[in-house]
Amino acid sequence: MNKGIIAFVGIALLLVASLYLLSTKDQSTGAAQADLVLYCAAGVKPAVVPLAQQFEREYGQKVQLMYGGSGTLLSNIQVAPQGDLYIAADQSYIEMAAQKELIAETLPLAWLRPVIVVAKGNPKNIRSLEDLKRSDVRIALGNPGTASIGRQTQKLLESAGVWGQVKKQVEQNGVFKPTVSEVANDVKLGAVAAGIVWDATVAQYPELEAVKVELFEEARQQISVAVLASSKQPTAALRFARYLNSRVGNAVFAERGFEAVEGDQWAWHPELTFFCGSVNRRAVDDVIKAFECREGATVNTIYNGCGILTGQMRTINQETGSGFPDVYMACDRYYLENVRDWFQEDVDISEADIVIAVPKGNPKNIQGIADLAKDGMRISVGQPEQCTIGALTRIMLEKMGVYDQVMKNVVMQTASSSMLVPTVSTNSVDATISYITDTKAESDKVDSVRIDSLYAKAIQPFSIACSSDYKFLGRRLFKDISAAEERFVKAGFRFRLGSQGTIVPSESVIENTE
């Protein structure tokens, strides 16, 4: 064999081996990553311990667990802001942590309900909250100041008007405990006859049984894991949080007696497919890049005209093949409505004016839509079957009664909104109908003329596919996009989300086409 060929083959093999080692190194970060520190509510320990051990075995990433009541742990985090993750057994503690700016991302894990816990066989025949006031029943409750179960117990018993009596009974003939596990242990040991704990806690003790009461049935509490704002390794923290939230974690939580959420598919480096209307690119592109870096994920973003994007969706859906988007951000609701059955949780993020773009200085003195119908005008518009701006232009011109008059001057139709303004800046046409956002990039070459019409507006909704295996990942991408108001405004959009992430009401063009 020729020596040159041998050398070439040897180099190729070394290259393949190097790439393999680099890829495997990415999935076994234990040597490079510091230990993760997780503050974990005591009642959630039975599910988190095996998952942390399994994660370390599979990926080499060690997780140090610090246990306590949800309130105690939150106080510790506030006093000494260090560590990476926090799991609370009560959403109110997560909300308090967010208000204090102690946490960043949050992922739901499971649900809990309070129950009365008694020894197996219920020797004291405790059937209701009224029985907890009996003089012969010694009870243990979680401390409302340190344990989430204590906080919820006080709240629920106050709503039933019996907190004062039960509290007095505990103070005189019972005990307050700092964690839910200690309440259960006291009942197990016979130190008390009853307590109030989470339903999943009872499932850990074969010696105990639960007594359900109507008041508690609707008092479901969410267990969530949050990435601490103080984390020095947020990507590693998010990765373990995703593991807990994933279907792998769901199975373990369910095995331990919790009502698990339906989480995402597990992947060390997940890939999210994002179909995004071209008009949104300037506002979301940098947000996506930052999201990918922090999450340790890839967002495969396809920018195009929404008619083309929805056409691809239909082809993919009919063929039941891979590649259907996990998330979709349309240029306007017009091109979400016709695929609505495949999407959920749509939220209007922004809106953009539709304008007439003309060469700098407006040499044809175009003042409105009527001028586009003048003889000799050369106009470009979007292709209505391929892009949203084309569909909205047609609707607007029809509503204004000038569709035929303007269309006779159309010399060019484009498949995407991003291709319209260049037809003006290169003097290929005298004017185009475009989004005002698309004129920003070439403001030194084009001017914008406002259109006096209710229909001269596009609303950009964000939605998550019903079929997505990464719904929670998609929701976090939405959260990052919804926090980028400054980028949207700079790009020429009006932001429609309120400061608390609520939708600012207004009408879309699609709702006014009748």
Higher pLDDT, 498 or 455: 455
* CATH H-level, domain 114-217: superfamily: Periplasmic binding protein-like II (3.40.190.10)
Q: Provide the whole-model pTM.
A: 0.84
What integer pLDDT is reported at residue 64 of this predicted model? Answer: 97
What integer pLDDT is reported at residue 188 of this predicted model? Answer: 95
Name residues whose C-beta falls within 8 Å of residue 134's C-beta, 6 or more positions apart in sequence: none
Mean per-residue pLDDT over the chain, rounded: 89
Q: Does residue 107 contact residue 245 with C-beta atoms inside 8 Å?
A: yes
Query: Which of 250-266 are b and which e, b meaning 16 or more Cβ less than 10 Å from the residue's Cβ?
Result: bebbeebbbebbebbeb
What integer pLDDT is reported at residue 362 of this predicted model? Answer: 96
Mean pLDDT along residues 215-232:
93
Provide, rounded to the nearest whole percent, the portion of the chain with pLDDT above 90. 80
Domain positions in the chain are 33-111+222-260, 114-217, 271-350+458-512
Q: Classify residue 132 by burial, with Cβ atoms within 10 Å: 0-12, 13-18, 19+.
A: buried
Cα separation, 103 vs 73, in Å, equals: 13
Location of structure tokens 């480096």: 269
Q: What is the CATH number of domain 33-111+222-260?
A: 3.40.190.10
Distances (CA, A) of 425 to 350, 356, 428: 26, 13, 8
Task: Give the confidence band of 183 by pLDDT, cuts at 50, 70, 90.
Answer: very high
Task: Give the confidence band of 319 by pLDDT, cuts at 50, 70, 90.
Answer: low
Task: Give the confidence band of 438 by pLDDT, cuts at 50, 70, 90.
Answer: very high
pLDDT over threshold 50, residue 251: yes
What integer pLDDT is reported at residue 22 of this predicted model? Answer: 40
Task: Give the confidence band of 512 by pLDDT, cuts at 50, 70, 90.
Answer: very low
pLDDT over threshold 90, residue 3: no
- Helix %, strand %, coil % for the chain, to 5? 45, 25, 30
What integer pLDDT is reported at residue 318 of this predicted model? Answer: 60
Task: Give the confidence band of 243 by pLDDT, cuts at 50, 70, 90.
Answer: very high
Cα separation, 438 vs 440, in Å, equals: 6
Give yes or no on whether 33-111+222-260 and 114-217 have one common fold.
yes
Q: Considering only CA atoms, which of 47, 470, 36 is closest in space to residue 267?
A: 470
pLDDT per residue as tens digits for the range 359-403: 999 999 999 999 999 999 999 999 999 999 999 999 999 999 999
What integer pLDDT is reported at residue 508 of this predicted model? Answer: 42
Assigned CATH class of 271-350+458-512: alpha beta
pLDDT per residue as tens digits for the range 447-495: 999 999 999 999 999 999 999 999 999 999 999 999 999 999 999 999 9
Task: Give the confidence band of 321 by pLDDT, cuts at 50, 70, 90.
Answer: low
